[in-house]
Chain A
Amino acid sequence: MASAPLPIAPRAESGRRFGFLLAAGFLLLLVILALFASLVAPYDPIAQNLKMAFAAPSFAHPLGTDNIGRDVLSRVIWGARPALLGVVITLITTSLVGIPWGLAAGYLGGITDLLLMRLADALLVFPGIILALVLTTVLGPSLQSSMIALGIVYSPVLARVVRSGVLSVRDREYITVTRLYGYSALYRMWHHVLPNALAPCVVQLTLIAGMSLLAQTGLGFLGVGLKPPFPSWGGSLSESFRYIVINPSASFAPGLTVALTVLALYRIGDELRDRLSLRH
């Protein structure tokens, strides 16, 4: 479409690379903290210490303490567990629903395609968090059910991407050749069509991971999700909000962590998109 290749200054290129490495490093750190939370976190995340309530950041409590004296840093570290687990549940649900959906629509075509894509349009109309709230009513308010609900919400987005990927390779010669081998339609879709349509899928899943973390934090803030006293970033934000005047640091840390994580996920998604589109 562009009449001339876009000039990219070498300095901008190295800056982008640095940003990507920073994003990947941050996510890796978060995964490690989540896995080894019991070793890394300085305090028990649900141990109350009313004498130490509303402590300002200090050497003993780098991010201060909350309204009932719990260590904010420890709660942020432990909160990474449900956050990352939730994102993984959402991504798995989205893939389980969205990939077969898009494959069937793109590969079978015709009336099946029309019906499946109409259904996708209908679901896409709903604002994600509202549909997740409504589905959570049905599945019951818990972390798992709200994450599964979010996975269902995002699946039509993925289905569309898979469908257009399938359409772009379906009639190529190397796919047609596999018909001669007499493989079943299902086998050919899975082993020959899908792998060639996977790259845009991975990019989309990275973006969905970011969106789902934002939505998950919002649901936690509304009280739909992990039940107190277990630490979650959204729940911590909701608890700390009431005391934000006297103790702003307890509201600051979880929100900033969410923002940085989402920023890192989007950065990685952008980078993957650029690299994968370079190959074409």
Chain B
Amino acid sequence: MQITVDMNLCESHGQCVFAAPEIFSFDDDDRLVHETTPSDALLDRAERAAALCPVRAVTVSPAVP
């Protein structure tokens, strides 16, 4: 799968980090960093992260072939 985060929307709420720490984390300046093409085994968690983002900055889409 493909993970996209709109950094213009992201306010570092951290809900995605809570929901899917394998994919999302913060750097030392509280900026969000994330895997762009995590394993499909993490799909449930990625979708959970997208659903919990208060500013709807996270998009989960099928992997680009």
A and B held together in a complex = no
Q: Chain B: residues with CB nearer than 8 A to chain A?
A: none
Q: Chain A: residues with CB nearer than 8 A to chain B?
A: none
